[in-house]
Amino acid sequence: MVPWLEAGEPFPDTRLALTDPDGLLAAGSDLHPQTLLQAYSAGIFPWYNAETQPILWWSPAPRCVIWLEQLHVSRSLSRHLRQADFTVTVDRDFETVMRTCAAPRQGEPGTWISEEVIEAYCRLHQLGYAHSVEIWQNGTLAGCLYGIQLGQVFFGESMASPQRNGSKVALVVLRNLARTLDIRLLDAQIENPHLISMGAEMIPRDAFERCLRDWIPAQPAPVPWPDGRFDWATLQAL
């Protein structure tokens, strides 16, 4: 059993998270901006099926992370970056990115990105904490990702590839943007083969939370992201 949280109650110590299922810490509470900011600052995130479950809060261990400066770009992806005719925007259409990430995927029964979740993260976007990267080819969305920046940590929430390599390109763009946004670590939350192929690794919970304590201020302020459209040459120069 995990504790039930009423709105405004503090989260339990992450060391109390279950090992089966891995990382389940609590249920209940709400998705108000302050609740989400407190959760992410402590390495906790919501993940649940809104049709059948209450809000569930997780802190898995070990934690899947990407040190963005060590992001692995394969030869085929490097060739794609050189040859593909694409442009990049940031925070141009956050809600569209979330809905693209929420679209059904082959082999998956559904999505956790419900209307309730979209509304909550759009509020964080309006407050300047949640951000999106959009990759465009021939006027259509080819790839995207979104997440939350607190201090020097970016908490990646989801990504999508409407066209080949789209999410991988978005991740490379995030790496380049990180140099100007002073992002040191991408929290990828839970491992999967796609992330591992890009250089993700698993680190112990105490090491991950030490990074959060060192790199997230007690009262994190929203970080403005660059405005406009970018081509690949411009992003390489950042």
Beta-sheet strand order (sheet of 185-189): 201-203, 63-66, 185-189, 153-160, 140-150, 130-137, 87-90, 229-230
**Exposed / middle / buried, residue 219 (Cβ in 10 Å: 0-12, 13-18, 19+):** exposed
- Residue 233's pLDDT is what? 63
Same domain, 88 and 45: no
- Residue 105's pLDDT is what? 67
Q: Is the pTM for the entire model greater than 0.85? A: yes
Q: Which domain holds residue 34?
A: 4-60
Q: How far apart are CA 25 and CA 16, in angstroms?
A: 7
- Residue 206's pLDDT is what? 97
Tens-of-pLDDT digits for all 238 residues of the chain? 899 999 999 999 999 999 999 999 999 999 999 999 999 999 999 999 988 999 999 999 999 999 998 999 888 888 888 877 788 999 999 999 999 999 876 656 567 899 999 999 999 999 999 999 999 988 899 999 999 999 999 999 999 999 988 999 999 999 999 988 999 999 999 998 888 989 999 999 999 999 999 999 999 999 999 887 777 666 665 5
3-state secondary structure of 216: coil
Same domain, 56 and 68: no
- Residue 234's pLDDT is what? 66
Same domain, 49 and 71: no
Same domain, 68 and 176: yes
Q: Let me know: does 54 contact 48? Beta carbons within 8 Å.
A: yes
CATH code for position 218: 3.40.630.70
Same domain, 190 and 223: yes
Q: How far apart are CA 140 and CA 102, in angstroms?
A: 17
Q: How far apart are CA 157 and CA 155, in angstroms?
A: 6
- Residue 192's pLDDT is what? 87
Q: How far apart are CA 18 and CA 1, in angstroms?
A: 9
CATH code for position 38: 3.30.70.3550
The answer, yes or no, to whether the previous bond of 3 is cis (omega within 30 of 0) is no
Q: How far apart are CA 131 and CA 159, in angstroms?
A: 12
Element (H, E) at 157: strand 153-160
- Residue 238's pLDDT is what? 52
Half-sphere exposure of 102 (CA within 13 A, CB side): 17
